[in-house]
Amino acid sequence: MKIDTFKNQFVNNIYLNQKLAKYTWFGVGGNAEILYIPEEEISLEKFLKNKPNDYKVFTIGAGSNLLIRDNGINGITIITKKLNRISIDTNGIITANCGAIDADVARFARNHNRTGLEFLIGIPGTIGGGIKMNSGAFGTEFKDVLIDVKAINHDGKYKIFSNKDLKMKYRKIDLKNEWIFLSARFKTSLSTNESIKNKMKKIIQSRKNAQPTGVKTGGSTFKNPLGKKSWQLIDQAGCRGLKIGAAMISEKHCNFIVNLENSTARQIEELGELVKQKVFKTSGIKLSWEIERVGNK
Ligand SMILES: Cc1cc2nc3c(=O)[nH]c(=O)nc-3n(C[C@H](O)[C@H](O)[C@H](O)COP(=O)(O)OP(=O)(O)OC[C@H]3O[C@@H](n4cnc5c(N)ncnc54)[C@H](O)[C@@H]3O)c2cc1C
């Protein structure tokens, strides 16, 4: 099937050659050849079942852990932000769709006096991205609260994965990229609104103290090597404030790269690679990217 014929079936939500920069926290990135923003799970299923076979699929949540390169992404890019419903059952199990923003899920749990999801208040991603990255903060990760997740593959086939199936580890899971997460169930327990609010306040305050806020960034650039802190290694290598073009290592948190104004993805990536080299020289440790780099250079 030709892409034009296919596009006409989804004319409201499919866009050709759309700039992706505005869908990422870094504010950089080239075009998506085909961009699809589904409003319903069922439309996504229909889309995947009918798409031309030779098109690759890439999924974006909030784009808070992505560096999309300047020449964009070939094939189909799906943005999940409109699939964002959240609900709770009589046992206190919270179900969130993949595009729900983590902080909205945290607030939803608080509004129902359910504890366990406070850590989500400061992570700027979506539920789908959080599961993919096994995101975490302040001693809790998705691994600790996830019951199971419903997913669909690039051919439109559904499957439920239990927490155990995903083999969740520090900032990674063991699952092929062909699976798009649709909705996830989380365990919570009963608490008081006051105590949940206090936990969240503390988290928000600690973040404000330790991290740059209101800036274009991808969060932690590198994973922490076992028993070490990347920010310390980067600091010891003299990289605090290091710049390439408008990309800079944050003065406040050395593991954050900040796009000061109109940086390119290339400058951000080059800065990251330079930091890796410098850290290796001073410590003998090879940092590995936590931020995912995708697309064409
Ligand atoms: C200021 C800032 C602070 C941050 N703080 C933290 C922190 O404290 N802890 C932490 O762990 N991370 C943190 N991050 C990183 C980031 O927020 C997390 O990795 C987040 O969970 C990514 O979610 P996302 O929706 O933005 O995913 P994206 O960045 O859009 O995508 C990340 C990956 O997930 C995949 N993906 C997205 N949605 C789906 C889906 N529905 N199904 C399958 N795959 C999907 C993408 O293909 C990609 O591989 C921070 C980032 C920023 C900018």
Instruction: Indicate if 224 and 175 belong to the same structural domain.
Output: no
| Residue 155 tokens, joined | 């051919």
pLDDT for the residue numbered 2: 66
Instruction: Over range 238-249, report the average pLDDT.
Output: 98
* pLDDT for residue 4: 72
Closest atom of ligand 1 to CA, residue 141: 11
Residue 207 lies in a domain: no
Ligand 1 neighbourhood includes 124 CB (under 6 angstroms) = yes
Query: Quick one: which H or E segment has residue 115?
Result: strand 114-115
Q: Indicate the number of domains in the chain.
A: 3
Q: What is the pTM of this model?
A: 0.97
66 in contact with ligand 1, CB cutoff 6 A: yes
Same domain, 95 and 150: yes
Tell whether the model's pLDDT for residue 95 goes beyond 80: yes
Mean pLDDT on 133-161: 98
- What is the pLDDT, as a whole number, of residue 1? 58
108 and 66 share a domain? no
85 is catalytic: no
pLDDT one-digit tens code per residue, 261-280? 999 999 999 999 999 999 99
Pick from 79, 95, 110: which residue ends a domain? 79
Residues 124 and 74 in one domain: no
- Going by pLDDT thresholds of 50, 70 and 90, the confidence category of residue 25 is very high
Do 21 and 102 lie in one domain? The reply is no
SS3 of residue 86 by DSSP: strand
Mutate to test the pocket of ligand 1, among 48, 118, 132, 173 (most ligand atoms within 8 A of CB): 132
Comparing CA positions, the residue from 164, 281, 286 lying closest to residue 226 is: 286
Q: Is residue 203 in some structural domain?
A: no
Mutate to test the pocket of ligand 1, among 123, 170, 222 (most ligand atoms within 8 A of CB): 123
Tell me whether residue 290 is one of the annotated catalytic residues.
yes
The Cα–Cα gap between 228 and 207 comes to 20
* 38 Cβ below 6 A of ligand 1: no
CATH number at residue 229: 3.90.78.10
Q: Average pLDDT, whole number, for the chain?
A: 96
Domain boundary among 143, 167, 195: 195
pLDDT at 250: 98
Return the pLDDT at 271: 98
Supply the range of the domain harboring residue 276: 212-294
Q: Is the CB of 267 under 6 A from ligand 1?
A: no
Within a domain: residue 201? no
Which residues are registered as beta bridge partners of 141? 136
Candidate of 68, 135, 143 to mutate for ligand 1, largest count of ligand atoms within 8 Å of Cβ: 135
Q: How confident is the model at residue 172, as a pLDDT?
A: 97
Per-residue pLDDT reduced to its tens digit, 35-65: 999 999 999 999 999 998 889 999 999 999 9
**149 DSSP β-pair partners:** 161, 184
* Same domain flag for 108 and 131: yes
Please tell me whether residues 31 and 50 are part of one structural domain: yes
Q: Which of 144, 161, 195 is the last residue of a domain?
A: 195
Catalytic residue among 183, 220, 250, 263: 220
> Does one domain contain both 216 and 282?
yes
**Is 200 contained in some domain?**
no
